[in-house]
């Protein structure tokens, strides 16, 4: 990069007539803020985590609310093979996470279109970027609708066959203030999830959620069964891919604030969602100062629902029917919707 990450950010705000307001930063096409109108409250409620000092968007390591690519989640051993050719990824670690050391979350996107309720950004990733093949062009469009939804559309075009998975790493706390999210009520329409090894790579097994702490088919608080299954101990909580129908007309998840005044449904046409209970917001190496009260965010201060392909799907050909590679003839075309009921 020729510029320091997050230097001179350009912010844009879109809204609807109900008062739902969304602010986007061009670095990482990052959602800086989602403020939702709540009945009986004088000011809109901020439902995303954010940093106290704007300069910390550079230093925070948690991918706060950013566009993730070229490949969201993990690729084992930072390599894959396409048509007999092996590609080594620049991950800086054993496994490639969220596109590598210089993923899309650290790129300045270009704003190409703006209306009162919509923003469209693009970014170009050249052939060999972070080790991925092909010249890749991503278009991200954010649209706020009058039914209090934030719609996100991804269009990724590549002149070569490649793996690509684009998502947003939004950290939601519907309480509207720095607090634990373990008392949020959550429903996930999923019958199965992918168990992980100790390094968060799927084992290849598909496990039914029924009878386990991973079952959210009946709404419950996130804390009810937290850490009550050995399969979540390595991740220090929930950080697992759930298999979903991927129907953009039907929500796959619903989240409610502690006071039940704010509800959020999530829609997508991806086949999986990574449910992450923000288990690494604070470690011995770093801490993040909350923008609302100036105190340190504790672990589990937010919940992430990241629609995506299966993690490490380049190494799981048994799931190829639902995890498609991008080709010059078939671009990535995926959709996420966060819809609020307040």
Query: What is the set of active-site residues?
Result: 169, 306
Is 281 within 8 Å of 299 (Cβ atoms)?
yes
Cα dihedral sign, 228-276-245-98: negative
* Strands 207-208 and 192-193, sheet pairing: antiparallel
Number of C-alpha atoms within 13 angstroms, CB side, residue 271?
Answer: 12
- Round to whole Å and give the CA distance between 185 and 58: 32
* CA distance readout (Å), 320 to 255, 316, 325: 30, 7, 9
Kindly state the DSSP code that residue 305 receives in the 8-state scheme: E
Is 342 within 8 Å of 38 (Cβ atoms)?
yes
**What are the residues facing 196 on neighbouring strands?**
202
**What are the residues facing 208 on neighbouring strands?**
192
Q: Which secondary structure element, helix H or strand E, spans residue 153, and what is its range?
A: strand 149-158
Is 30 within 8 Å of 57 (Cβ atoms)?
yes
DSSP assignments along 73-85, one per residue: SEEGGGEEEETTE
- Round to whole Å and give the CA distance between 257 and 237: 19
Is 72 within 8 Å of 79 (Cβ atoms)?
no
Number of C-alpha atoms within 13 angstroms, CB side, residue 18?
Answer: 17
* CA distance readout (Å), 291 to 70, 138, 178: 29, 30, 9
Cα dihedral sign, 266-270-275-280: negative
Alpha helices in 6-80, H assignment, sequence order: 56-59
- Round to whole Å and give the CA distance between 186 and 84: 43
């Amino acid at each position: 990069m020729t510029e320091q990450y997050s230097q001179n950010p350009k912010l844009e705000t879109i809204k609807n007539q109900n008062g739902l307001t969304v602010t986007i930063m061009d670095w990482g096409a990052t959602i800086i803020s989602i403020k939702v109108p709540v009945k009986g409250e004088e000011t809109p409620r901020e439902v995303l985590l954010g940093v106290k000092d704007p300069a910390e968007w550079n230093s925070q390591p948690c991918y706060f609310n950013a566009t993730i690519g070229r490949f969201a989640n993990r690729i084992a051993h930072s390599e894959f093979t396409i048509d007999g050719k092996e590609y080594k990824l620049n991950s800086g670690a054993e496994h490639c996470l969220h596109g590598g050391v210089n993923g899309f979350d650290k790129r300045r996107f270009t704003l190409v279109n703006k209306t009162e309720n919509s923003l469209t950004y693009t970014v170009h990733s050249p052939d060999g970027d972070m080790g991925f093949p092909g010249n890749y062009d991503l278009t991200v469009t954010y649209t706020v609708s009058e039914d209090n939804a934030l719609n996100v559309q991804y269009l990724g075009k590549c002149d070569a066959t490649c793996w690509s998975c684009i998502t947003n790493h939004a950290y939601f706390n519907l309480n509207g203030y720095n607090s634990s999210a373990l008392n949020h009520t959550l429903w996930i329409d999923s019958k199965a999830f992918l168990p992980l090894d100790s390094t968060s790579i799927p084992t290849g097994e598909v496990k039914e959620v029924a009878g386990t702490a991973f079952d959210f088919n009946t709404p419950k608080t996130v804390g009810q069964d937290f850490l009550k299954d050995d399969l979540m101990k390595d991740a220090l909580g929930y950080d697992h891919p759930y298999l979903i129908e991927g129907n953009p007309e039907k929500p796959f998840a619903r989240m409610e604030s502690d006071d039940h005044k704010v509800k959020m449904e999530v829609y997508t046409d991806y086949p999986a969602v990574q449910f992450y209970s923000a288990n690494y917001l604070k470690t011995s190496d770093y801490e993040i100062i909350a923008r609302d009260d100036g105190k340190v965010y504790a672990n589990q201060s937010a919940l992430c629902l990241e629609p995506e392909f299966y993690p490490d799907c380049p190494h799981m050909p048994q799931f190829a029917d639902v995890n498609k590679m991008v080709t010059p003839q078939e671009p990535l075309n995926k959709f996420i919707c966060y819809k609020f009921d307040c």
